[in-house]
A = this chain, B = another copy of it.
Protein backbone atom coordinates (compact mmCIF):
# COMPACT_ATOMS: atom_id res chain seq x y z
CA UNK A 1 0.00 0.00 0.00
CA UNK A 2 2.84 2.44 0.75
CA UNK A 3 5.11 4.08 -1.77
CA UNK A 4 7.59 5.18 0.88
CA UNK A 5 8.74 3.45 4.04
CA UNK A 6 8.58 6.70 6.04
CA UNK A 7 5.24 7.27 7.79
CA UNK A 8 5.16 11.02 8.49
CA UNK A 9 2.24 10.98 10.97
CA UNK A 10 2.88 7.62 12.67
CA UNK A 11 3.02 9.23 16.12
CA UNK A 12 0.52 12.00 15.45
CA UNK A 13 -2.80 12.79 17.14
CA UNK A 14 -5.64 14.47 15.29
CA UNK A 15 -6.11 17.51 17.51
CA UNK A 16 -7.83 20.33 15.64
CA UNK A 17 -10.20 21.36 12.87
CA UNK A 18 -9.32 24.81 11.56
CA UNK A 19 -11.95 27.10 10.05
CA UNK A 20 -11.11 30.26 8.13
CA UNK A 21 -13.72 32.99 8.51
CA UNK A 22 -14.17 36.53 7.29
CA UNK A 23 -15.57 37.42 10.74
CA UNK A 24 -14.28 35.11 13.49
CA UNK A 25 -16.51 36.69 16.14
CA UNK A 26 -19.66 35.99 14.12
CA UNK A 27 -18.71 32.33 13.54
CA UNK A 28 -17.75 31.91 17.22
CA UNK A 29 -21.12 33.34 18.30
CA UNK A 30 -22.92 30.86 16.03
CA UNK A 31 -20.92 27.90 17.38
CA UNK A 32 -21.67 29.04 20.94
CA UNK A 33 -25.35 29.34 20.06
CA UNK A 34 -25.63 25.80 18.71
CA UNK A 35 -23.27 23.99 21.13
CA UNK A 36 -23.59 26.00 24.35
CA UNK A 37 -19.78 26.07 24.58
CA UNK A 38 -17.81 29.20 25.42
CA UNK A 39 -14.76 29.98 23.31
CA UNK A 40 -11.40 31.03 24.70
CA UNK A 41 -10.38 34.68 24.55
CA UNK A 42 -9.43 35.78 21.03
CA UNK A 43 -5.69 35.61 20.26
CA UNK A 44 -3.89 37.91 17.83
CA UNK A 45 -0.92 36.20 16.19
CA UNK A 46 2.41 38.03 16.08
CA UNK A 47 3.94 39.82 13.11
CA UNK A 48 7.00 38.48 11.29
CA UNK A 49 9.53 39.67 13.89
CA UNK A 50 8.14 37.24 16.48
CA UNK A 51 6.17 34.65 14.50
CA UNK A 52 8.71 34.35 11.66
CA UNK A 53 5.83 33.47 9.36
CA UNK A 54 6.91 32.09 5.98
CA UNK A 55 4.38 31.69 3.18
CA UNK A 56 5.39 29.92 -0.02
CA UNK A 57 9.07 30.45 0.81
CA UNK A 58 8.91 34.14 1.67
CA UNK A 59 8.61 36.06 4.94
CA UNK A 60 5.19 37.64 5.43
CA UNK A 61 3.71 40.13 7.86
CA UNK A 62 0.35 38.30 7.69
CA UNK A 63 -1.39 37.90 11.04
CA UNK A 64 -4.64 36.35 12.18
CA UNK A 65 -7.24 36.57 14.91
CA UNK A 66 -7.77 33.12 16.45
CA UNK A 67 -10.69 31.86 18.53
CA UNK A 68 -10.68 28.32 19.99
CA UNK A 69 -13.37 25.93 21.21
CA UNK A 70 -12.31 22.89 23.23
CA UNK A 71 -14.25 19.82 22.12
CA UNK A 72 -12.26 17.05 23.82
CA UNK A 73 -9.48 15.43 21.79
CA UNK A 74 -10.06 18.04 19.12
CA UNK A 75 -10.43 21.78 19.26
CA UNK A 76 -12.13 23.97 16.72
CA UNK A 77 -9.98 26.92 15.67
CA UNK A 78 -11.53 29.89 13.90
CA UNK A 79 -9.04 31.96 11.96
CA UNK A 80 -9.72 35.46 10.67
CA UNK A 81 -6.92 36.53 8.32
CA UNK A 82 -5.39 39.97 8.94
CA UNK A 83 -3.36 41.26 6.04
CA UNK A 84 -1.43 38.86 3.89
CA UNK A 85 -0.18 37.04 1.98
CA UNK A 86 -0.98 33.83 3.84
CA UNK A 87 -2.67 30.48 3.35
CA UNK A 88 -5.53 31.87 5.47
CA UNK A 89 -6.08 34.89 3.19
CA UNK A 90 -5.65 32.76 0.07
CA UNK A 91 -8.28 30.28 1.33
CA UNK A 92 -10.75 33.05 2.25
CA UNK A 93 -10.35 34.76 -1.13
CA UNK A 94 -10.85 31.47 -2.99
CA UNK A 95 -13.48 29.64 -0.91
CA UNK A 96 -15.00 32.07 1.58
CA UNK A 97 -15.65 30.71 5.09
CA UNK A 98 -14.93 27.01 5.55
CA UNK A 99 -12.69 24.21 6.82
CA UNK A 100 -9.11 25.24 6.06
CA UNK A 101 -7.12 22.48 7.77
CA UNK A 102 -6.99 19.44 9.99
CA UNK A 103 -4.17 19.53 12.53
CA UNK A 104 -2.03 16.79 14.03
CA UNK A 105 0.33 17.06 16.99
CA UNK A 106 3.75 15.71 16.09
CA UNK A 107 7.11 15.46 17.83
CA UNK A 108 8.89 17.57 15.22
CA UNK A 109 7.04 19.76 12.73
CA UNK A 110 10.11 20.03 10.52
CA UNK A 111 10.73 16.27 10.32
CA UNK A 112 7.04 15.53 9.70
CA UNK A 113 6.81 18.25 7.03
CA UNK A 114 9.88 16.89 5.26
CA UNK A 115 8.41 13.39 5.37
CA UNK A 116 5.03 14.60 4.04
CA UNK A 117 6.85 16.29 1.16
CA UNK A 118 8.19 12.89 0.13
CA UNK A 119 4.53 11.80 -0.16
CA UNK A 120 3.56 14.70 -2.46
CA UNK A 121 2.30 16.96 0.34
CA UNK A 122 4.63 20.01 0.40
CA UNK A 123 4.83 22.71 3.11
CA UNK A 124 3.23 26.06 2.25
CA UNK A 125 3.40 28.07 5.47
CA UNK A 126 5.23 27.89 8.77
CA UNK A 127 5.76 29.93 11.89
CA UNK A 128 6.38 29.90 15.62
CA UNK A 129 4.26 30.89 18.58
CA UNK A 130 4.73 31.08 22.34
CA UNK A 131 5.94 27.57 23.18
CA UNK A 132 5.63 25.88 19.82
CA UNK A 133 5.77 25.86 16.05
CA UNK A 134 3.55 24.90 13.14
CA UNK A 135 3.78 23.94 9.49
CA UNK A 136 0.89 23.85 7.03
CA UNK A 137 1.37 21.14 4.41
CA UNK A 138 -0.68 21.34 1.25
CA UNK A 139 -2.67 18.12 0.82
CA UNK A 140 -5.26 19.91 -1.36
CA UNK A 141 -4.31 17.77 -4.36
CA UNK A 142 -4.05 14.48 -2.44
CA UNK A 143 -6.89 14.82 0.11
CA UNK A 144 -8.68 18.09 -0.68
CA UNK A 145 -7.58 19.82 2.54
CA UNK A 146 -4.51 21.37 4.17
CA UNK A 147 -2.81 19.48 7.01
CA UNK A 148 -1.32 21.35 9.94
CA UNK A 149 1.58 19.93 11.93
CA UNK A 150 1.79 21.27 15.46
CA UNK A 151 4.32 20.81 18.22
CA UNK A 152 4.34 22.50 21.56
CA UNK A 153 7.90 21.94 22.73
CA UNK A 154 10.11 23.61 20.12
CA UNK A 155 9.93 27.32 19.49
Name A residues whose Cβ lies closer than 8 Å to a Cβ of B.
1-4, 7-10, 12-14, 17, 19-21, 27, 29-36, 71-74, 76, 95-99, 102, 116, 119, 121, 142-145
Contact = CB atoms under 8 A, between A and B. Distances in A.
This chain: how many copies in the complex?
A: 2
A14 B14 CA distance: 12
Contacts of A73: 72-74
A20 B144 CA distance: 9
Given A99-B99, A144-B97, A145-B99, A4 B30 contact: no
A35 B19 contact: no
A84 to B, nearest CB: 19
A34 B119 contact: yes
A76 B17 CA distance: 12
Contacts of A27: 142-143
A31 B143 contact: yes
A18 to B, nearest CB: 10
Nearest to A99: B99
